[in-house]
Chain A
Amino acid sequence: DIQITQSPSTLSASVGDTVTITCRASQAITTSLAWYQQKLGEAPKLLMSRPSILESGVPSRFSGTGSGTEFSLTISSLQPDDFATYYCQQYHFFSTFGQGTKVEIK
């Protein structure tokens, strides 16, 4: 099975900050990685896949990079609506999610 290590588990930031979340795969997954945002009590929302292709309607302050085993999600100029939990997911071989990163208000 492919394991995904996501860090940090919690991230404290202020509106306007730029934050980065990273995911590391236990083996190469080419570019088969997606990012999701989940707010409390809601279903996850797909932000981007492969891993830099933004879904329609997702603000351009979200960006994703990486290939192989190292990936990152960057949120530039954090907005109040961005405080949520973020997950990465590999879909190279079946599916595995990272442990999640809670972005909270500092």
Chain B
Amino acid sequence: EVFLVESGGGLVQPGESLRLSCTASGITSGDDAMSWVRLAPGRGLEWVGFIRNRASGGTTDYAASVKGRFTISRDDSRNMVYLQMNSLKSDDTAVYYCSRCRGSTCFYVSWGQGTLVTVSS
């Protein structure tokens, strides 16, 4: 069974940075694309971005709302995925989920429990 565990959430002020981590267990590193999805208060799920699997070059793409501010990376040797968030805004307040795609096709077969990021002064 696959387990994803996010960490690194917390309270930050607008303009600050935060890095979220996702630890994966029970999978073969590098085989699956990985995504970050968020759930903001009173809103629905929003795709943040993803990093392709090793076979697809490990490249990244992002939602327009975070492009240029957020960066996703992965360390397959440690089964880790990261979300570096810079220039945070109040609109970025949300529960952030790490999710696993099925191979290179990004519907999400596994999810972490989520980590809360609150951006407030």
The answer to whether A and B assemble together is yes
Interface size in chain A (residues, C-beta < 8 A):
20
A residues within 8 A CB of B44?
87, 97-100
A residues within 8 A CB of B91?
none
User: Contact check: which of B45, B63, B107 meets A49 at CB < 8 Å?
Assistant: B107
User: Contact check: which of B45, B105, B111 meets A97 at CB < 8 Å?
Assistant: B45
B97 near A43 with CB under 8 A, answer yes
Given contacts A43-B114, A49-B107, contact A97 B47 (CB under 8 A): yes
Lowest 3 CB-CB distances: which A-B pairs, in order?
A: A34-B107, A43-B111, A95-B47
A-B contact pairs, 30 of them (CB 8 A): A1-B64, A34-B107, A36-B45, A36-B108, A38-B45, A43-B97, A43-B112, A44-B97, A44-B108, A44-B111, A45-B111, A46-B107, A49-B102, A49-B107, A55-B109, A87-B44, A89-B45, A91-B105, A91-B106, A94-B50, A94-B61, A94-B63, A94-B106, A95-B50, A97-B37, A97-B44, A97-B45, A98-B44, A99-B44, A100-B44
